[in-house]
Amino acid sequence: MSARPRLLYVTDLAYPARGRRYGDEDVHLTARLRRSFDLALCHPLDAAALMDGFDAVVVRNSGPVLAYQKEYEAFREQARARGTRVYNPLHGRADMAGKQYLLDLTAAGHPVIPTADRPEDLHRLPEAAEYAVKPKAGADSIGLRFVPYEELAGLTYGEVLVQPRVDFRYEVSFYFVDDLFQYALYAPDPERRWVLEPYEPTADDLAFARRFIDWNTLDHGIQRVDACRAPDGELLLVELEDLNPYLSLDRVPEPVRERFADNLVDSLHRFLAA
């Protein structure tokens, strides 16, 4: 390894994310990382061809892999075969591996929106006016629709997940580097999901988020725990994003943003030294 580690930073700067500016976030982060690492940016479709010249590949705002699933799987295969360090590491158990974790967490009794993927399990879901139906391989709300219970029998099972539509008070996200909590943001208006404001978590809120960070067993990496506040006040997991979580850094004060970047640099140094 060179005196200054070489990082290949994977991002789709032009991805048209609704309500978010991927490019701005990665411009900010790479400006900070460049002070500590030799850095190059590339599109996710180019990562496999370029990664041999670097000490590690950092996957950031690379967009939903549905748009390039075949190329993404090839990247993972080649990285494993060559022993390439990838941050986040490729053994994540949450969104990185698909949506099976929502079924596993439901079965294990964790505080998650109840999820089913077989018609024989529908009776285990709480009664609701509507049910969310989403592709198992979905991301970024692609393919999400809401249907009444009567239409659930006609679904193509094996390809979709079914959840009751929760009449939540708000959504809240907790952001971590390794196992270190960084900040939390929430959307006070459920109809404006990406209009986020800083959120001051309680001790119980942090304990909720940490149980999923611990469950995922990633020693290194960035994770975002997305939850909703149910009408009874309970937090329920919506998503555990461990592949390329958008960080909404433009929604936090500058000292928080700078501390996050510093912690990311420290995490990457530990990752490279491991």
Could you give the angle at the alpha carbon of 266 between the alpha carbons of 262 and 270, nearest 5°? 170
Q: Provide the 10 A C-beta neighbour count for residue 219.
A: 12
Is residue 128 within 8 A of residue 147, CB to CB? The reply is: no
DSSP 127: P
Average pLDDT over residues 259-273: 97
SS3 195: coil
For 211, the token pair is 């149980």
Any idea of the CA torsion for 2, 4, 10, 11, to the nearest 10 degrees? -160
Confidence at residue 138, expressed as pLDDT on a 0 to 100 scale: 62
Give pLDDT tens digits for 193-243. 888 999 999 999 999 999 999 999 999 999 999 999 998 999 999 999 999
Interval 49-99: pLDDT, tens: 999 999 999 999 998 887 888 999 999 999 999 999 999 999 999 999 888
The total of other beta-carbon atoms located within 10 Å of residue 122's CB is 16
pLDDT in tens, 142-197: 678 899 988 888 887 878 899 999 889 999 999 999 999 999 999 998 888 888 99
Cα–Cα distance, 117 to 225 (Å, whole number): 22
Tell me what pLDDT residue 73 has: 94
pLDDT band with cut points at 50, 70 and 90 for residue 18: confident
* Contact between residue 134 and residue 160 where contact means Cβ atoms under 8 Å apart: yes
